[in-house]
Structure 1
């Protein structure tokens, strides 16, 4: 698979709202507060199918604070904390 172009200022999945769709362009947990070892969030996301090129859609936001979020990843749904979603760089889809 060829690398997807990365925007100058990456957009993050954590910044999207309900109903918005995007494509994963990169995973980067640098700057994400986590109690896990380096690389652990990225590894877990990949195991759940969050890889470059995957299509995402925010299906639901928790109350209060919009956390966690329900995300459709290609054909399945998973729940993510917004903090974890900060490791997912995206490009918006129409």
Structure 2
């Protein structure tokens, strides 16, 4: 699933990022903010108007506003639910 499809409030790990889908300057800025394979992220908020932009993504101790087009270039994996006995 891509980051824009992640349910609000759920944690996930960035599994792959299609850097070629982004403008080079934007890709560089996102890398500087910590968006890279293996980073843990959480979708904190989804916009309510039109294309539901922007998305508020928590990464580390920051909250970053992303456009959906950027989030679509990022594939995430959700951690497996822990089994309860």
Return the TM-score normalized by structure 2.
Answer: 0.78
CA distance in 2, matches of 1:24, 1:85: 11
- Kindly report the root-mean-square deviation, in angstroms, between the aligned alpha carbons of the 2 structures: 1.7
Q: Provide runs of 4+ in structure 1 moved above 3 Å.
A: none
1:79 and 2:65 are equivalent in the alignment: yes
Q: Which residue of 2 aligns with 1:13?
A: 3
CA contact (8 A) 1:70 1:78 kept: yes
Q: Which runs of 5+ in 1 are unaligned?
A: 1-10
Q: Judging by fraction of residues, say which structure has more helix.
A: 2
Which of the residues 46, 58, 63 maps onto 2:31? 46
Return the TM-score normalized by structure 1.
Answer: 0.71
